Amino acid sequence: MAKLILLRHLQSQWNKENLFSGWTDVPLSAEGVESAPSTAQKMSGEKIDEVFTSPLSRNKNTTFLVLENLGKKAFFLAPAEKADLATNSLPVYITDTLNERSYGLLEGMNKGEVKKEFGEERTYQWRRAWDVPPPEGESLKDVCDRAVPFYQNFIEPELKAGKNVLVVASHNSLRALAKYIENIPNEEIINYEIPFGGMTIYDLDENLKVKNKEVC
């Protein structure tokens, strides 16, 4: 009936430097920009009707670059806006509900140094567990509480209407959506990871249940 594509942003400068980014607005690295054509190639055969992303530069710029390499122009809008677009343009709806999780006091810190100071297990829990937030930051559960209602209210109606939707977002906002879409148990989501430029393509039935899943 419809396809949903989840795409993690390309490598950012702080990803390259192994720093916690969170809500800090970090640009793409040169390597991230250079990887845009190969990332776009992975979805070159897919029809895309609408795109959703967050206002963070690494997400918006990934969207712009990937669409540009697909011969499309990104036309950025608020979620409730509509516009008459040129044939080669795609509506890209911006919402901060798709932002990365807040890493609180860890933002800007080196991940290796955090492991040394707090231990590998605690650091891993902060980064991947379901309901363990970093100091003054968000847990994955917190991200689900903002990302999933947006998905239900704005993206699901488009999918039910038969539109193919691309979501370009950050690691934990995509993990939150994948958890909801695939009904991943709380204790198993800790193992779910998406690389930079990683993509999951879902074929959905009329009830938005997953008929087929492709990871690339």
Active site residues: 9, 100
Number of C-beta neighbours around residue 209 at 10 A: 12
Q: CA torsion 192→187→116→59, rounded to 10°?
A: 40
User: Which of 164, 180, 162 lies closest to 172, judged by CA?
Assistant: 180
Q: Most distant CA pair in the chain: distance in Å?
A: 53
Cα 147-67-213 angle, rounded to 5 deg: 55
The helix or strand, by DSSP H or E, that contains position 126, with its residue range, turns out to be: helix 120-128
Number of C-beta neighbours around residue 192 at 10 A: 15
